[in-house]
Amino acid sequence: MPLPRFRQRVLVTGASAGLGQEMARHWARQGRDLALCARRVDELERLRDELLAVTPAITVSLHPLDVTDHEAVDAAFADAAAALGGLDRVVVNAGVAGGGSLGLDQAAANRTTALTNFVGAVHQAEAALRLFRPAGAGHLVFISSMSALRGMGGSMNVYSATKAGVSALAEGARSDLAGTGVAVTAVHPGYVRTSMASHFPRMLMASDPERATRAIVAAVEREPATAYVPALPWALAAWPMRLVPLGLYRRIAG
């Protein structure tokens, strides 16, 4: 069955590595046209060449991007829309996982994490909805995290806080956009064995990137309001994670 045109043109940020790179591979195999954004242009170029070698009929446009620069985000999204003849889905994925406990000389890394993950998500959502609102169509996807459900300590402290902010941002946008034809999805992956997560102290029930990405892409295609992926175990764990006392949660998750 041919793909619906309105979800054919997909922009992914943070596409040079990790989940962003894997999502690009999945959608390329499905014949989607892609706009790939990241800071590392050399990695984007390698990925483009790989994707076109497998699926030469698609269009892949590349856009160097630091998501903390709102003017650069606006320009990259506008350029991507011009390159693909419009955008149908934007995946807010770019993120970092640096930093540590507050007050222990990790302020610079914590600030970078906050600016990239949350302020960068605001910039991306603004730019995407500037395109989607006039069209009355589009799908805005936020890649959040299971860590958004609870505050976490140590190296996860600021990271989990930023992801909680991303999830709240998605819900607020969904409320604003009700009835407009623009869909909003927040995806909450569990632990995934990527280089970004390599310093997390406890990788409970971690998935390999391929399995996690299959679950993310499948969830995105359904366009739910919220998804916990992979569903086993994370859809089952979501409510217990919210309800367990902090002291017990700390012993389990850190």
Mark whether 159 is an active-site residue. yes
Q: Answer yes or no: are the C-beta atoms of 68 and 115 closer than 8 Å.
A: yes
Q: Answer yes or no: are the C-beta atoms of 68 and 116 closer than 8 Å.
A: yes
CB atoms within 10 A of CB 71: 9
- The C-alpha angle with vertex 221 and arms to 220 and 222, in degrees rounded to 5, equals 90
Instruction: Measure the CA–CA gap between 201 and 175, rounded to whole angstroms.
Output: 35
Neighbouring-strand partners of residue 147: none
For residue 19, give the nearest of 241, 226, 206 by alpha carbon: 206
Q: Pick the catalytic residue: 159, 191, 228, 249?
A: 159
Show the tokens assigned to 248. Answer: 């017990």
Enzyme catalytic residues? 159
